[in-house]
Amino acid sequence: MAGGTVDDTGRPIEWLVPFGFAVCMGWVIWHMPAYILDFIPPESESLYAQIQALHETKEVTPGWPGLFGGFTDPIDWLALILIPILFVWGMLTVRCAPMEFEDWRPWDRFAIFIGRVTMLLIISMTMIMLYEVFLRYVLEAPTLWANELTLWIGGFVFLCAGLYGMQQRSHIRIFLLYDIAPRWLQRIFDTISTLLLVIFAFFMVYGSFHQVFYIKFYKWEMFGTAFDPPIPATIQPAVLIIMTLVALQSVANLIADWNAEPTIHSAADDIDEDEIEAIKRSVGAK
């Protein structure tokens, strides 16, 4: 197995690095108006003023001066610098966990690390919802942000889980004809499905690139609510980015599985022996 053994997984670093990466990404995304003003300032004065107003409204550390005479303060720069460092560190330290696809290659570390970040996002969603339930039904003081923040994070979870699912070969497939076909025909099926996915991703990016990046992202379109998160400005670009990564991962899967032995699927594949044993123990069966 190229990715390591399952025996050395579960180390604290495998969760601390994705957590740090998620925190830095969250900080950068929330303060994106400052980065836009410093790195790609709009030529239109009205748009510049609009993004500057957003920056002043959403700034978490308003008392911090911007570096180099700009809008990004030291924490903004620190978060931006840490993102690639933590990402590379995370890819180098990630390990294959039990029940994951074991025969993965070095390039699969990208999707595996994104999968770890996605798992932490799911935990964060759960904590936010529990916090909101406590405030709403115990203290009778509901928040204005919990529901929309959960919706926002859930969008990223849905997208990133697609990339992880592609790497794990866990997407829905119908094997009725595939299993009875000879290996050379299976390779043709795999090539056609990969080609269709790549074509779809290409035309999706080509057809909506201007709309997404020049209108939604560059103008930093907000959700228009009391909490007002930048859901349109972030989720729509993420759709194109993740779709491109899914297409690239499908190509990587095709290359990795080209000379693999054919797998025969059966109804027994859906049976989880560990789950059955746990059910037997819970009901006292032997």
| Residue 190 falls inside a structural domain | yes
Q: Looking at residue 41, what is its pLDDT? A: 92
User: Which ranges constitute the DSSP H helices of 169-230?
Assistant: 183-209
pLDDT of residue 271: 61
Residue 274 lies in a domain: no
Q: Are 107 and 152 in contact (CB under 8 A)?
A: no
The answer to whether residue 61 is domain-embedded is yes
As given in the structure block, the two tokens for residue 177 are: 């004809």
Q: Average per-residue pLDDT in the chain?
A: 88
- Percentage of residues in the chain with pLDDT exceeding 90? 62
Give the structural domain span for 150. 6-263
Residue 9: what pLDDT? 65
Q: Is residue 1 part of a domain?
A: no
Residue 24 lies in a domain: yes
Residue 282 lies in a domain: no
Q: How many domains does the chain have?
A: 1
Selected residue with higher pLDDT from 4 and 38: 38
Predicted confidence band of residue 286 (pLDDT cuts 50, 70, 90):
low
> What are 130-153's pLDDT values in tens digits?
999 999 999 888 998 999 999 999
Confidence of residue 170 (pLDDT cuts 50, 70, 90): confident
- Of the candidates 30, 11, 10, 12, the residue with the CA atom closest to the CA atom of residue 22: 30
Q: Where are the alpha helices (DSSP H) in the chain?
A: 13-30, 32-39, 45-58, 74-93, 109-137, 146-168, 183-209, 231-257, 273-283
Please indicate whether residue 61 or residue 82 has the higher confidence score (pLDDT).
82
pLDDT tens digit sequence for 228-277: 999 999 999 999 999 999 999 999 999 998 887 776 666 555 566 666 77
Say if residue 284's pLDDT is above 50: yes
Report if residue 276 sits inside a domain.
no
pLDDT band, residue 98 (cuts 50/70/90): confident
113, part of any domain:
yes
Q: Helices 231-257 and 146-168, interaxial angle, to 10°?
A: 10
